[in-house]
Amino acid sequence: MDALSLVQAAILLVLGYLVGSVPTSVIVARLTRGPDPRTVGSGRTGGTNAIRALGWGRGLAVGFLDVAKGLLPVLVARWLSAGATVETLVALAAVLGASRSVFLGFSGGRGVASGIGAMLVIDWRVVALALPVFLVVIVATRYVSLGSLLATATAAAVLAGLVALGGAQAVYLLYGIGAALLIWVSHADNIDRLIHGRERKFAIPGLDRR
């Protein structure tokens, strides 16, 4: 890699982290005069807590924006033909930014939605196979955290299978495993509550009575 490529890679990494760090739920809350998600529920800024704080409409908008935070930096890296290794590192930077935002004192969400966005660029087939796991687990248990944990583990396993079969570049497996680890670490408190039976359940309109 020549000097120009190194500079480009460094810029893309910083871009990935900064875009991932954008506190979308806090911005949406302020623009719509809603409660700050950091003062509600888990205190996290991801889509799930945004739904609790702002309702389904604004919460889903936050979720889509969070997906874009992971998708766009990796898409830019691909558009610039930066290579699979740089794409992988940019994707990891975006997930790190989503869960450890420089704009929020290195706190944030769990990184799940941004992780999905990055994976859509890296290999959409992984999302197609892991997303049903996420949804089925949530509907069956009402635990978004458990759905996220099992879906990220599924994504890493699917990507490993694609690499083994020659259907994906091996370096992308670094993203699958690295993103899963980052997301699992950000769920440490949820894992503790799941183990001890204290995790918050998520109400689904039409399926749960209020």
Is 173's pLDDT higher than 90? yes
Q: List the one residue out of 177, 34, 36, 186 whose CA is nearest residue 106.
A: 186
Given a cut of 90, is residue 153 above it in pLDDT?
Answer: yes
Euclidean distance between the first and the last CA atom of the chain, given in angstroms as a whole number: 58
* pLDDT category of residue 4 using cuts at 50, 70 and 90: confident
pLDDT of 206 strictly over 80 = no
Q: What pLDDT sits at residue 113? A: 97
Non-local (6+) Cβ contacts of 202 within 8 A are 48, 138, 142, 143, 144
Contact 19, 69 (CB under 8 A): yes
For position 183, what pLDDT does the model report? 97
User: Distance between CA 148 and CA 180 in Å, rounded?
Assistant: 9
3-state secondary structure of 107: strand
The pLDDT of residue 205 is: 80
* Backbone Cα Rg of the chain: 17
For residue 200, report the phi and psi dihedrals to the nearest 5 degrees. -75, 135
